[in-house]
Amino acid sequence: MEKTLVQELNDSYDEVMTNQKSSGDAYGLLEIDKLGFYNFGYWEGGADSIEIAQIKLIEALASFFPEKKDATLLDVGCGTGAASKFLTKYFSPRNITGINISEKQLEVCRAIAAQCDFRLMDATDLDFEDATFDCVLCIESAHHFKPRTQFFREAGRVLKSGGRLALQDTVLHDFKFLETAFPGESYISWPQENCVPDLAAYRDSLLQAGFSYVRVLDVTDNAVCAWMRFRIKQLEQDASAADGYSVLENHRRLEQFTRAQSPWSWCMVFAIK
């Protein structure tokens, strides 16, 4: 039987995020989950470890939120709760709500951040009243939402007037690229309707969703590319871990991201309702 989007996403992320297993880990995916953040981080200004880059990412996104302890936050695609836990330094734990489509991951969330509220929920169909939150956070998961534009509309709906959305996202510009780069694989976790030709079109989709202010930054070089350069250096320096496949695959993917007219972008987004 063909898997649904939810089933495929749960299987792939649960495997790494809760069981610490990954088949064919050419890109070091287990490495990016050491602290439970499971993202490629933000390497601007220099970072000598993925952990520091991941913390820099959360700090960069959180810096857009208002500095008031009583503000309410929705963490969309909260993974195993590491970001929600980290953000208790800025928000009261009782004002943080995390949502995910994996009950297995939510069990981990509730264990590590027990004072926060975690719920099983689809990002494109939020079960909250209008104007519930001051802030919405989404880290490297919106590209999976089917469709992402519906998430933008839902995020705007549940935000209060003047509320803020901050996210880092993966943007695919050419869906046909997947068929060439990953022949024979399933693309169900990359909805075709989420492809946009460029980041200007991405910004327009947020404006059309009702946001009054939108800033979209291309952080490809300081996100996935920086991670891949770090990973290549890491593999080349560790003879016991390096193998030709891992190094060559990272080099090949780095070339795809850095060439002109790349089929991918990573972006950091700040929007106000």
| DSSP-based three-state secondary structure for 101 | coil
Q: Using the predicted structure, report yes or no on whether residue 226 has a pLDDT greater than 70.
A: yes
- The pLDDT assigned to 231 comes to 81
- Average pLDDT of the chain? 85
Distance CA 54, CA 45 (A): 13
What percent of the chain stands above pLDDT 90? 60
Q: Taking the CB of residue 95, how many other CB atoms lie within 10 A of it?
A: 20
What average pLDDT does the segment 89-101 reach? 96
Task: Note the pLDDT tens digit of each residue in 124-170.
Answer: 999 999 999 999 999 999 999 999 999 999 999 999 999 999 999 99
What is the structure's pLDDT at 188?
Answer: 66
Residue 2, pLDDT > 70, answer no
What does the pLDDT read at residue 250? 66
Contacts of 260 (CB under 8 A, 6+ apart): none
Token pair of 166 as six digits:
């901050």
pLDDT of res. 1: 35
DSSP conformational letter for 193: G
What's the domain count of the chain? 1
pLDDT at 37 over 90: no
CATH code at 230?
3.40.50.150
Instruction: Give kind and range of the element (H or E) at residue 10.
Output: helix 5-17
Domain residues for the domain of 98 are 5-272
Query: How does residue 178 score in pLDDT terms, banded at 50, 70 and 90?
Result: confident
Provide the pLDDT for residue 187.
Answer: 63
- Angle value at C-alpha 29, between 183 and 173, nearest 5 degrees: 45
**Of 63-77, 224-238, 250-264, which range is least confident?**
250-264
Instruction: Calculate Rg over the CA atoms of the chain.
Output: 18
Question: What's the mean pLDDT in 46-65?
Answer: 92
Query: Exposed, middle or buried: residue 162 (CB in 10 Å: 0-12, 13-18, 19+)?
Result: exposed
The per-residue pLDDT for 27 is: 47
Pairing of strands 159-172, 133-139: parallel
Inform me whether the pLDDT recorded for 97 exceeds 80.
Answer: yes
Residue 245 scores a pLDDT above 60: no
Q: What is the 3-state secondary structure (H, E, C) of 214-259?
A: EEEEECCCCCHHHHHHHHHHHHHHCCCCCCHHHHHHHHHHHHHHHC
Closest CA relative to residue 59, chosen from 73, 39, 46, 42: 42
pLDDT band with cut points at 50, 70 and 90 for residue 73: very high
